[in-house]
Amino acid sequence: MPDVKTTRSELIGLKKKVKLAESGHKLLKKKRDGLILEFFAVLKDAKDVRKILSENYAHASSLLSQTIALDGSVEIKSLSMALKEKPSVELKIRNIMGVTIPEVRTSRIRKGMAERGYGLIGTSIRMEQTITAYEELLEAILRAAETETKLRKILLEIEKTKRRVNSLEFVLIPRLKEQASFIRFRLEEMERENIFKMKMVKAKIAE
């Protein structure tokens, strides 16, 4: 049977655990709230990006259909083969409240007529407009990919943090407090027993 000293030591240890768990719970709640604010900010940006992507796709597709009809698909393919310097894509990682977010970095996508590798003579304005439209579409696609990935990763981290907050709030902290309460009760009981024993000893000595 544990003595009073051991029981008190257990109680002190439990109190420290409760304090540590409550501190962690507070920090996780702050993280969760911060992530939720970030999520809604990114969500607003994502809606704008989706709208731009949809508009750019519709515009580029319409121009391409017109160009194919009027200039022919063979001419378009030959122009596409003329491009020597293709855009490069690089991923950089950024940290937002413990969440690793990829950032898409590219070389310059939009190019001037002189940089596209084909002669200006015999190239219609429609073709130039179509090429420009698809350059803009590519930029929109890359931005949308970055934003959507960021949105998903933040949402996953919010769910993960919420589970940890709930586990601390509704499982671990109540369990630790219940254990501490039981030990306090047992400690008080042991102290009452010791007082009773001391009184018995004094009574016998008095006899």
CATH of the domain at 177: 1.10.287.3240
How many domains, in total, are found in the chain?
A: 1
Q: What mean pLDDT comes out for the span 134-159? A: 92
The confidence score (pLDDT) of residue 112 equals: 67
Give me the percent of the chain exceeding a pLDDT of 70: 90
Host domain of residue 176: 4-198
Q: Is residue 96 part of a domain?
A: yes
Q: Is residue 149 part of a domain?
A: yes
Report pTM. Answer: 0.77
Q: What mean pLDDT comes out for the span 150-161? A: 94
The confidence score (pLDDT) of residue 93 equals: 87
The confidence score (pLDDT) of residue 96 equals: 81
Give the model's confidence band at 1: pLDDT under 50 very low, under 70 low, under 90 confident, else very high: low
Sign (positive/negative) of CA torsion 27, 28, 31, 33?
negative
**Torsion-angle region of residue 4: left (phi > 0), alpha (psi -120 to 50) or beta?**
alpha
Please say if the pLDDT value at position 171 is more than 90: yes
Distance CA 100, CA 156 (A): 11
Distance CA 125, CA 147 (A): 33
Digit-coded pLDDT (tens) for 40-85: 999 999 999 999 999 999 999 999 999 999 888 887 887 777 666 7
Residue pair 110/83 in contact by the 8 Å Cβ criterion? no
> Would you give the end-to-end CA distance of the chain in angstroms?
31
The confidence score (pLDDT) of residue 122 equals: 58
Q: Is residue 205 part of a domain?
A: no
Digit-coded pLDDT (tens) for 78-133: 777 766 677 777 888 888 888 888 888 887 777 766 666 565 555 778 888 888 89
Q: Is residue 174 part of a domain?
A: yes
Q: Is residue 207 part of a domain?
A: no
Q: Is residue 8 part of a domain?
A: yes
Quick one: DSSP state of residue 113? Answer: G
Q: Is residue 206 part of a domain?
A: no
Q: Is residue 204 part of a domain?
A: no
Give the model's confidence band at 200: pLDDT under 50 very low, under 70 low, under 90 confident, else very high: confident
